[in-house]
Amino acid sequence: MTVIARGANRLMKKRLLISRRLPEAVEKRANAAYDVFQNADDHQMTTGEIVEKAKDVDALLITITDKMRKEAIDALPEHIKILSTFSIGFDHVDLDAAKARGIKVGNAPHGVTVATAEIAMLLILGSARRASEGERMIRARAWPGWAPLQLVGRRLDGKKLGIYGFGKIGQALAQRARGFDMEIHYYDIVRQPPEKEHGAIFHDSLDSLLAISEFFSINAPLTPETRYFFNTETIEKLPQGAIVVNSARGDLVKDEDLIAALKSGRLAYAGLDVYAGEPKINEGYYDLPNTFLFPHLGSAAIEARNQMGFEALDNVDAAFAGKDMPFKLT
């Protein structure tokens, strides 16, 4: 691993490990405030590398791909009390283990909202209009010319969109889908007040939502209760030929069941931005024509990534100042 230390007056600055390369503006701010140990070649650090480098720093700024399970948290040097993650998700960090060690953990919850909702909307539109099939046809130089029945898809107006998980991203998706004249329905464990629903129809059970969802968008967090919730049993409760998109977490979906439903025609299309085991995704997806697949682009907008970095640094700044992290998890 190539690691470089930056910043003048090293003895006066706290030392911060940043596990991946971040946007220029984020790194500039970090280097102005801290003696940064940067993962210069941007490889995926192993847990062992992070634990080893933690001996030389005062705080850690990690990303969603850095798996800080209990054994990793327990192996951190005793002086590490600050951990901030460049992500809204935190299922890669064992919060109970961190709390037991007295480690403050924070995330970056707001920067991803608009960018991820845009990707969810793009997945819906691209799936409905069979965009990936058309793009492949052009690139393969296989377009025979216009024909009345060529790649006929669906319009969005008047269609029922079921949103599973109506937090900030789910609400932002609803706002965008209303611009396509979709009828918005949602299920969440907590009903939002009318001023946040903006006419969206609340369902008091997931089964009720599934039953009407011509389009179904997964926007729920990954928890022990939601892991692999989207399976054959769930699929059978959707209308025949429904379209499903997932911009949340790959482990919410049981891949084998989704692939089987797409092959059989039980589901018409799937738009996916996240996958279990990514980047090594289920081989069954590669040859399915009725899929619209992205490489985890949800927050991949410079405005989003900058805000995520600034929020992660806000947590570090506050913790070093003896204050609560503004986006604390423990």
Positions marked active-site:
249, 278, 296
Q: Are 62 and 329 in contact (CB under 8 A)?
A: no
76 exposure class (CB count in 10 Å sphere: 0-12, 13-18, 19+): buried
Instruction: Give dist(CA 206, CA 171) in Å, integer.
Output: 17
Q: From start to end of the chain, where are the E strands? A: 3-5, 15-18, 35-39, 59-63, 82-86, 104-106, 160-164, 183-187, 201-202, 215-218, 242-246, 267-272, 291-293
Position of tokens 């806000």?
Answer: 314
Instruction: Give dist(CA 64, CA 62) in Å, integer.
Output: 7
Instruction: Give dist(CA 80, CA 177) in Å, integer.
Output: 44
Rg of the chain on CA atoms, in Å = 22
Q: From start to end of 98-211, where are the E strands? A: 104-106, 160-164, 183-187, 201-202
138 exposure class (CB count in 10 Å sphere: 0-12, 13-18, 19+): exposed
What is the secondary structure of 258-313 as a DSSP string? HHHHHHHTSEEEEEES--TTTTS--GGGTT-TTEEE-SS-TT-SHHHHHHHHHHHH
Q: Are 238 and 264 in contact (CB under 8 A)?
A: no
Instruction: Give dist(CA 83, CA 258) in Å, integer.
Output: 36
Q: Are 261 and 240 in contact (CB under 8 A)?
A: no
